[in-house]
Amino acid sequence: MAGLLVFGVLLAVLLARGVVRASVSWPELLTQTLLGGVLLFLDLQGLRSLADQDRRLARACFGPSAHALLVRRIDELAASRAAVVAAVDAERRRVERDLHDGVQQRLVALAVLLGRARRGGRAPERTDALLAQAHREAQEVLTELREVAWRVHPSALDSLGLREALVGGAERSAVPTHTVYELPEPLPEPVRTAAYFVVSEAVTNAAKHAEADEVLVRVTREGGQVEVTVRDDGLGDADPAGGGLTGLRGRVAALDGRLTVHSPPGGPTTITAELPCASSSPRTPPC
């Protein structure tokens, strides 16, 4: 068919020369052009069909079999399920640690202050000071409880959507965080939750470990997927195999997504999560 295509090109050249020399009439030109167009279309379709057949034969002869593909897919699903379980266990341990080391200790201190205030009945000034201190401690306990609840699952994520949840998280961040959100609402709950926790964990890591001065969060739609990018200007050299990033990778993989970390020494660190949003998989509902 390639030879037929070359032959057709030569005939087209001869026809063009005939037109230039005025040796070909207009009816003959139209007839030859129409016939040549049909033959060209058939030839190109034949070449495409042959190429598709070659690919199918190569895949059947040299590529993995259907059984091998099925086994590979089962292994991927088992690995992603194990990663999700590990991530959930890590989050539970972190919540328990926050409650034990933070809220519980403050409640103990509050109980001690109230006990001292009860025993100081003969010194009204001292009692008032202890009660004022206990009041401040109670307010700090409430604030810390709200922070723990926000890290577990912010209520704004369900009631107001991902945009407002990210804005609220940026306001609570210890590092100035700028958010660029370019997605229509609403998003499917699994995609929305995964995107939020990717941003939350990445911003927390930038504040705790990277010594960053600024964080840029960008949430966009690229084709059939949601792309979440978190970039900080910190020290870099983040460990992709660290506990936090490993948990995020498992959460993203559970949606057939992909998490990449680019963090050269000296920075900047860029964490990108690609979350499928238009797939036939029941784990990745359409956006």
Give SS3 for 224: coil
Quickly state the pLDDT bin for 281 (edges 50, 70, 90): very low
The b/e string for 183-199 (b: 16+ C-beta within 10 A; e otherwise) is beeebbeebbbbbbbbb
238 vs 280: which has the higher pLDDT: 238
| pLDDT, mean of residues 229-246 | 81
Q: Which tens digits make up the pLDDT trace of 118-171?
A: 776 667 777 888 888 888 888 888 877 777 776 677 777 777 888 888 888 888
Provide the pLDDT confidence category of residue 279 given band limits of 50, 70 and 90.
Answer: very low
Beta-strand pair 258-262/225-232:
unpaired
By CB neighbour count within 10 A (0-12 exposed, 13-18 middle, 19+ buried), where does 3 fall?
exposed
- Does residue 198 register a pLDDT over 50? yes
**Helix segments in 153-188, DSSP class H:** 155-159, 162-172
Locus of tokens 């949430």? 219
The rounded radius of gyration (Å) of the Cα atoms in the chain is 32
Q: Among residues of the chain, what percentage have pLDDT more than 90?
A: 9
- Residue 234 reports pLDDT greater than 90: no
Q: Which of 214, 273, 226, 265 is closest to 249 using CA atoms?
A: 273
User: Which range scores top for mean pLDDT: 9-23, 48-62, 193-207?
Assistant: 193-207
Question: Is pLDDT at 271 greater than 90 in this prediction?
Answer: yes
* pLDDT confidence of residue 29: 63
**DSSP for residue 232:** E
Per-range mean pLDDT, top range of 18-22, 148-152, 173-177 = 173-177
The pLDDT score that the predictor gives to residue 231 is: 93
Looking at residue 280, what is its pLDDT?
40
Predicted confidence (pLDDT) at residue 110 exceeds the cutoff of 90: no
For 60-95, how does the pLDDT look when each residue is reduced to its tens digit (9 = 90+)?
Answer: 777 777 777 788 878 877 776 776 677 677 777 777
The DSSP 8-state label assigned to residue 236 in this structure reads: B
Dump pLDDT digits (tens) for 210-219: 888 899 999 9
Structure tokens given for 164:
């407002």
Residue indicated by tokens 């080391």: 101
pLDDT of residue 172: 81
CA atoms of 122 and 161, how far apart (whole Å): 54
List helix spans (H) across the chain: 2-20, 26-62, 66-98, 104-119, 124-152, 155-159, 162-172, 189-208, 243-253
Q: Please, what is the Cα angle at 106 between 104 and 107, to 5 degrees?
A: 65
User: Does the global pTM surpass 0.75?
Assistant: no
Walk across the sheet containing 215-222 and list its strands. 177-181, 215-222, 225-232, 269-276, 258-262
pLDDT band (50, 70, 90) for residue 5: low
pLDDT in tens, 27-46: 766 776 776 676 777 777 77
pLDDT-derived band of residue 17, with 50, 70 and 90 as boundaries?
low
Of the listed ranges 15-19, 131-135, 161-165, 233-237, the least confidently predicted one is: 15-19
